[in-house]
């Protein structure tokens, strides 16, 4: 309502549209979790690219979790312009 009262009706309309789109994607996950037979769609074959992506992101999560100060220092130096 604040956006509409401020004269940004177009922004409020876009926000509602994007909220509906995101609700569709999030509710689809809930449907797959609780309303589908998990054995019917089980596919254990993964490609090398998928395994590599999971390994890289897993290592990144571990690195950020163990040494967050390095990432914070990098972000701070980037914002400050080195």
Per-residue pLDDT tens digits for 3-38: 889 999 999 999 999 999 999 999 998 988 888 776
Q: What is the pTM of this model?
A: 0.43
pLDDT score for 15? 94
Alpha helices in 6-67 (DSSP H): 9-34, 48-66
CA dist 51 and 37 (Å) reads 25
- Residue 62 or 42, more confident: 62
- Cβ-based neighbours of 64, under 8 Å, separated by 6 or more: 71
pLDDT score for 50? 87
């Amino acid at each position: 309502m604040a956006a509409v009262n401020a004269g940004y009706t177009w922004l409020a309309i876009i926000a509602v549209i994007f909220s509906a789109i995101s609700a569709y994607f999030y509710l689809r996950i809930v449907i797959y979790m609780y309303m589908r037979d998990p054995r019917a769609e089980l596919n254990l074959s993964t490609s090398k690219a998928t395994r590599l992506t999971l390994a890289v992101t897993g290592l990144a999560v571990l690195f950020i979790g163990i040494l967050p100060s390095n990432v914070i220092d990098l972000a701070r130096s980037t914002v400050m312009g080195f």
